[in-house]
Amino acid sequence: MRRPARSRLEAAGITTPQLQGDYERARQLNAEHGRTYYLATRLLPPAKRPYVHALYGFARYADDIVDDLDPALGPYERAARFEGWSQQFLRSLETGASDDPVIRAVIDTMARWRIPSSYFADFLASMRMDLTVTQYQTYDDLAAYMWGSAAVIGLEMLPILGRADEGARPDALQAHAIDLGLAFQLTNFIRDVGDDLARGRIYLPQESLAACGVDRRRLERARATGTTARPVRDLIALEIERARVLYRSAAAGIELVHPSSQDCLRIALTLYSDILSVIEESGCDVFSRRASVSLGRRARVAGAGLARAQFSQRTRVRPAAARKPDRPADHAPGPRRRPADRAPFRT
C-alpha cells in the first residue's frame, strides 16, 4: 500500500496492516462501482472516509453476491443459499471475526461507531427479496423493500457523519437520512427501468403503472425498441416527482449534521438528483440511453467543495480510535419507523 493511502487510514485511527488492507479493499469497491458516491466521500475528512467506504463496499459486495448466484438454480434455491451466506455474515458480526477483508472492515466500522447489527440484517433481508420478488403492487410495498435496501444505509452513516449539535436528539436526523437513502434508491429505479426489466424485475409500483396506462408488455416493448411512448413518459415523470419530494426532505436535514460532513452530503444530493434532471431533459426517455451526469458537471459541482475540504483537512483531525464513543442509545433507533409508515408522496 502506498504511503499516502496508509497515512489517510492512520488519520482515521486504522493502524494495523491487516485492517489497512481490509479498508483499502472496501475503498476499491467504492471507487469501481460508485462514481458519484466515491467523489462525494472525498469531501469528508480522512478520519471519516474509510468507514463510509466500508459500509458502501459491503452493500456493493452483498449485491454482487446476489447477482452472481448460479442462475441455473431456482429463485428459492438461490434465496436459500444467500440466506446461508447472510447468517454466516451476521455470526461474524457477533464474534467479531472473519476471513473476508470487506467483512472485517465492516466489523471494525460497526464496533467503532456502535452501529446496530439490526441494520445489516434488514439490508440482507431486502437483498434476499430480490431473488424471489419481481414487482411491488403499491408504493408502501416498495418502501418496505427500500427500508432495508436504502433507508438503513442512511442510518448506518449517521454516527460517522456526526451532528452539528451534539446535544440534539439523534432521531431529529433520522427521518432526513431515511429520505436521502430512499431518494437515491428511487433515482436508481427510475434510471434503470430497462436494466431491471432485463433481470425480470419492475421496481416502480404497479399502482403507478396502472394509473398511467402502462403494463409490463408496454415496458418490454419500450426496452426492445428503445422508444418511450407517452404513457411510459408519464410514469417516469410521476416517479421523478416522488423522488424530488424525498430529496427536498433530505436537503432540509443537511445543516443538522456535523459541518465537516455537510459538503459531502450536498454534493451527493446535488449530483444524484441531477440524474433526474438529465432524464427530464430527454423527455423522460429512459430506454434509448442510460442517463448520467456529465464529467464537466460533476467537476463544477464538486470543485468548490473539494477545495473547501482540502483546506479544512490541513487541520489535525482526531483519530476515530481516540474519540470518545457516543452512548449506544445515541444512535440506536427508537421504535422503528419504516418508510411505509410515512410515505411522503402517493399515487
Superfamily of domain 134-316 in the CATH hierarchy: Farnesyl Diphosphate Synthase (1.10.600.10)
Single-letter amino acid code for the residue at 255: E
3-state secondary structure of 248: helix
Residue 126: per-residue pLDDT: 95
- The neighbouring-strand residues paired with 163 are 257
Reported as a single tens digit per residue, the pLDDT across 297-322 is: 888 877 766 666 565 555 434 434 43
- The pLDDT assigned to 337 comes to 42
Evaluate whether 37 touches 268 at the Cβ level (below 8 Å).
Answer: yes
What pLDDT does 312 receive? 52
CATH 1.10.600.10, applies to 8-132 = yes
The two domains 8-132 and 134-316 share their CATH topology (first three levels equal): yes
What are 256-259's contacts with CB under 8 Å, separation 24+?
Answer: 256/163, 256/164, 256/165, 256/168, 256/172, 256/173, 256/176, 257/158, 257/161, 257/162, 257/163, 257/164, 257/173, 258/161, 258/162, 258/163, 258/164, 259/164
Q: What's 282's DSSP letter?
A: T
pTM of the model: 0.84
At 113 the pLDDT is 95
Is the sign of the CA dihedral 45, 111, 250, 33 positive or negative? positive
Q: What phi, psi does 135 have (nearest 5°)? A: -160, 165
Which residues in the chain show pLDDT less than 70?
1, 3-4, 35, 304-347
Whole-number pLDDT of residue 304: 65
CA–CA distance, 221 with 8 (Å, rounded to integer):
50
pLDDT of residue 309: 57
Query: What is the reported pLDDT for 301?
Result: 79
Residues 6+ apart with CB under 8 A from 257: 158, 161, 162, 163, 164, 173, 265
Where are the alpha helices (H) located in the chain, listed in sequence order? 3-11, 17-33, 35-41, 49-68, 75-95, 101-113, 117-129, 139-146, 152-161, 171-191, 193-198, 206-211, 216-225, 230-251, 259-281, 295-312, 328-331
Q: Kindly list the domain boundaries of the chain, sorted by start residue.
A: 8-132, 134-316
Determine the pLDDT at residue 295. Answer: 84
What is the model's pLDDT at position 138?
98
Q: Grid coordinates standing for 307?
A: 477545495
What pLDDT score was predicted for residue 75? 84
Q: How far apart are CA 154 and CA 137, in angstroms?
A: 25
